Structure 1
Amino acid sequence: MSDRTILVVGTYDTKDDELTYIADVIRGQGGGVLTMDVSVLGDPSTPTELSKHDVAAEGGHTIQQAIDGGDENLAMQIMAKGAAELTLRLYREGRFDGVLVLGGTMGTDLALDVCAALPIGVPKYIVSTVSFSPLIPPERLPADIQMILWAGGLFGLNSVCKASLSQAAGAVLGAARAVEKPRSDRPLIGMTSFGKTVLRYMVALKPALEERGYEVAVFHATGMGGRAFESLAAKGAFAAVMDFAPQEVGNHLMGSLISAGADRMTNAGRAGIPQIIAPGCYDLVDFVGWQDVPTKLAGQEVHAHNRLLSSVVMTADQRREMARTMCEKLALATAPCILILPMLGCNEWDRAGGPLSDPEGLTAFIDEIKTNCPANVQLITLDAHINDPAFADMALTVFDDLCLAN
């Protein structure tokens, strides 16, 4: 008997050879395979365990409806809905341990929905002709997805594409065998931050929260980290969040490609998760370090973090806009929300006398927060810098009042 089963998904009418090759590699390594066909027009050479009719029906449609719509985008969305719902049901029934989806742009669009339907810890692999492409927005990427470029595989098998397909087959089976899925024995705190050179509060907060019986996951707020944070928040995975690095809100606001999506800083509140908020690095807009400064930010001071990442320092007006946007997002919260406002600065570089110190800009941000803070948000002003011990102490005091009392 095989020790782990992999769900292999694709359009078997056009990619039968490639999908069969993947299944053969998995079986050759001792794994089991469950096949799902998401074709619309054609049929596989050999029936799959889950047919295209099963897929469409799971989403409340028929294949004929997908055909009669006369639109390939509409048809694939019908199949994506059914595939995502069927995949989740099969996983809950214990039918498979990991998923591998193969596709071009159409198949990748569907694959993202399929993978997003599954919880974190389930191995999710997409083999795609557009892996790592700007065609894929960050908000479509699940928290722990893996992708591999389907090189040279647009039509038919060859030695080049077999290298990609066999790697993916081995990777998903190996992941299914090795994965240590998230435990549920301790409530989880989601925290956002950057490296210790710029934001340091997690050094004190993580062990203190663990002593209180919580598990702490710290997310690197550089686009994909925030996307993972929001994805888990939307699923109600956190007992509380300490969202202390909302820089991705400003990135999205200013048009940076380093974005966690338009819903950054909204999902915890909508899910009824208690939030403790602070504006760490609110004044910086990240952009890709090897690209030119975005036109909208031209002429502003730039801090080069490394060759991959640089940050533009916001003007006073941009900081006011950032403050209003944060307040608008926090106004959507349906659970307790506390905003701690460090009055002496919000990243290591903006301390008094520091290289990015801007007292007038900081004052503009603080004043705008005070003016626009929504009624559902408790505002705490703190005469300290965000990297001072006093901030971590205040965060723990607020956490104890908010969470330990309930």
Structure 2
Amino acid sequence: MEETRRILVIGTGDTKADELLFMRERIEAVGGIAVMMDVSVLGDPPYRPEHDRHAVAHAADTTIKAIIASGDENTAMTLMALGAARLARSLHDRGEIDGVIALGGSMGTDLALDVALALPLGVPKFVVSTIAYSHLLPPERIATDLMMILWAGGLYGLNSACEAVLSQACGAVVGAARAVVKPDEARPRIGMSSLGKSCLQYMVTLKPELEKRGYEVIVFHTTGMGGRALEAIAAQKGFVAVLDFSLQELANQLTGSVVNSGTDRLENAGRQGIPQIVAPGAIDMVDFPTWQAVPARFTERPYHAHNRLLASVTSDGATRKEIARAIGDKLAAATGPTAFILPAGGIQQWDQEGEPLYEPEALSAFVEEMRASVPENAELHEIAGHINDAAFCDKALEIFDRWVAEGIVPPGRRQAA
């Protein structure tokens, strides 16, 4: 018989007891086991949770009394979030939970996001929230495999709309805990960033070449949350190397676009000392929602609507120089081996001669500034060609293979024939 999955249920039992008890009942109705964690501050729930508010406070190296006296509700819930995240991770590491579901408004969601970030990829994480999918949620707070559902009708008490949402969420997290195939750690993992292969084509060559060398290559689509996932896994030291060749999200963040991965884009691999090879793929394009007006600073720039969600413009030479300096600053903070490949002939498919986004003066301005901005702790490798030329892949593999030979990157693990 299939093993029963244990789901950690997190919420403030002093104010949301009816909802949380309903969730416990639904989890058990579909064959799961509910493990209750109470994150209330001011009062106790009318049930006995497996992990009460005192245990949560203790995990944060404090007490409920001290948390209440800490100053305000924001400070109090931040401390409870620290305790909940630590306790949840400890429960996972001891093999006592198989997934987590949390319930909350803005306060409970704030706490739930910390818990989700504390758990590794492959542990089902479900948040039922009154602010699901809201722009209140910054990219850097969202765990790689987080699932969310809007808590419709969830302001005060149970009702039929609320029950419909909660029952779906409970079924989903139990199902995910049963069905999940956790990441295979047999082969060393490489993180690679890219866009669609019509824009950046190196992944078509590099992925199979690196797989031949015994690595698993995970490619992230850099349209906001893809880069966020790469950064989150890098922050947990989930890669032996990172090939970060598509930095458009960094350009988006610097120019104020919501289509970004947070302020720490291009920082976590370097912060963790992970060897990284970096290139400036597509930094000349800025994305924004098609359903919004073109930002004022870009109204005179070339424009393309990719679909009804996503549109792009190109940045001018001055903006590209600003982006070059930002890339250099982020590389300078890296603590591990770093190389930068600068393709002087172009950085995305449509910036070549004869293509609609060809702007040689703006490209030259970027290349010149980038040469000057690569810091001393990073190798600079300039190629005359385009990022989509074979020479770019050859250079990337040359650096990578040298690092493997020097012991900077661990050797791959070839699968048996």
In structure 1, stretches of 5+ residues that fail to align are none
2:123 matched to 1:102? Answer: no
Structure 2 match to 1:14 = 15
- Note the C-alpha offset of 1:404: 4.0
Amino acid aligned to 2:247:
P
Give the 5 Å matches for 1:275-286. 275-286=276-287
SS in 2 for 1:33: strand
Q: Which position in structure 1 is the counterpart of 2:199?
A: 198
2:50 is the alignment partner of 1:43: no
Give the corresponding residue for 1:359.
Answer: 360
Find the counterpart in structure 2 of residue 175 from structure 1: 176
* Distance in 2, Cα, partners of 1:134 & 1:247: 20
Partner of residue 304, structure 2: 303
1:88 equivalent in structure 2: 89
Bigger Cα displacement from structure 2, 296-305 vs 181-190 = 296-305
SS in 1 for 2:19: helix
Deviation of 1:388 (Å): 1.4
Report whether the alignment pairs 1:369 with 2:370: yes
Q: CA deviation at 1:154?
A: 1.0
Asked if 1:32 is matched to 2:30, the reply is: no
Equivalent AA in structure 2 for residue 250 of structure 1: A
CA distance in 2, matches of 1:138, 1:371: 30
Identify the residue that residue 255 of structure 1 maps to in structure 2. 256
Indicate if the aligned counterparts of 1:342 and 1:391 stay in contact, CA closer than 8 A: yes
Residue 320 of structure 2: aligned partner: 319
Q: Hey, what's the Cα distance between the residues in 2 that align with 1:399 and 1:334?
A: 18
Identity of aligned residues (%): 55
Alpha-carbon separation, structure 1, partners of 2:301 and 2:32: 55
Aligned equivalents of 2:163 and 2:276: distance in 1? 47
Q: Secondary structure at the match of 1:76?
A: helix
What corresponds to 2:114 in structure 1? 113
- The alignment's TM-score, normalised by the length of structure 2, stands at 0.96
Cα distance in structure 1, aligned partners of 2:71 and 2:59: 21
Counterpart code for 2:110: D
Asked whether the equivalents of residues 290 and 308 of structure 1 are also in contact (C-alpha less than 8 Å), the reply is yes
Q: CA deviation at 1:111?
A: 0.3
Separation of aligned partners in 2, 1:66 and 1:335: 39
| 1:295 to partner: Cα distance | 2.6
Structure 2 SS opposite 1:184: coil
- Judged with a 3 Å threshold, the aligned counterparts in structure 2 of structure 1 residues 404 and 168 are, in CA distance, closer, same or farther, namely farther
Paired amino acid for 1:294 = P
- Tell me how far apart the structure 1 counterparts of residues 71 and 362 of structure 2 sit (CA, whole Å): 55
Supply the distance in 2 between the matched residues of 1:44 and 1:236 (Cα, whole angstroms).
Answer: 38
Verify the 8 A CA contact 1:121 1:144 in the aligned structure 2.
yes
- Write out per-residue CA displacement over residues 51-104 of structure 1, whole angstroms, 9 at most, x where no aligned residue: 000001110111111212341111111110100011001110111000000000
Deviation at 1:311, TM superposition (A): 1.2
Could you tell which deviates more after superposition, 330-339 or 64-73? 64-73
Q: CA deviation at 1:389?
A: 1.7
For 1:221, give the aligned amino acid: T
Is 2:389 aligned against 1:388? yes
Q: Which digits, 9 at most, give the CA deviation of each residue in 1:208-257, with x for residues without a partner?
A: 10000000000011111111100111111110000000111111100100
Given that 1:303 and 1:313 are in contact with CA atoms closer than 8 Å, whether structure 2 keeps it comes out as no
Report the secondary structure of 2:61's partner residue.
coil
Give SS of 2:177's match. helix
Q: Distance in 1 between matches of 2:373 and 2:74?
A: 42
Distance in 1, Cα, partners of 2:44 & 2:160 = 26
State how far apart, in whole Å, the 2-side matches of 1:270 and 1:74 are. 27
In structure 1, how many angstroms separate the alpha carbons of the residues matched to 2:70 and 2:394?
59
Between the aligned partners of 1:272 and 1:264, the Cα distance in structure 2 is 15
What's the secondary structure of 2:246's corresponding residue?
coil
Partner of 1:124: 125
Secondary structure at the counterpart of residue 244 of structure 1: strand
* 8 Å CA contact retained: 1:99, 1:123: yes
Q: State how far apart, in whole Å, the 2-side matches of 1:123 and 1:388 are.
A: 40
Equivalent-residue separation in structure 2 for 1:400 and 1:205 (angstroms): 12
Unaligned stretches of 5+ residues in structure 2: 408-417
DSSP 3-state at the match of 2:380: strand
Deviations, residues 134-169 of structure 1 (Å, cap 9, x unaligned): 111111101110000000111111110111100100
Distance in 1 (alpha carbons) for counterparts of 2:340 and 2:175:
43
Partners of 1:254 and 1:296 within 8 A in 2: no
Aligned twin of 1:230: 231
Aligned to 2:412: none
User: d(CA) in 2 for partners of 1:316 and 1:199?
Assistant: 21
Residues 238-289 of structure 1: CA distance to partner in whole angstroms, max 9, x if unpaired? 1000000011111110010011111100110110001111111010111111
**Residues in 2 aligned to 1:403 and 1:300: alpha-carbon distance in whole angstroms:** 43
What code does the residue aligned with 1:5 have?
R
- Residues 287-321 of structure 1 deviation map (CA, whole Å, 9 limit, x = unaligned): 11111112333322212222211112010000100
Amino acid in structure 1 at the alignment position of 2:67: A
TM-score of the aligned structures, taking structure 1 as reference length: 0.98
Q: What is the distance in 1 between the residues matched to 2:14 and 2:390?
A: 61
Q: Give the 3-state SS of the residue equivalent to 2:103 in structure 1.
A: strand
Cross-structure match for 1:62: 63
Once residues 387 and 126 of structure 2 are traced to their aligned partners in structure 1, the CA distance between those partners, rounded to angstroms, is 39
| 8 A contact 1:258–1:287 mirrored in 2 | yes
CA distance in 2, matches of 1:227, 1:17: 35
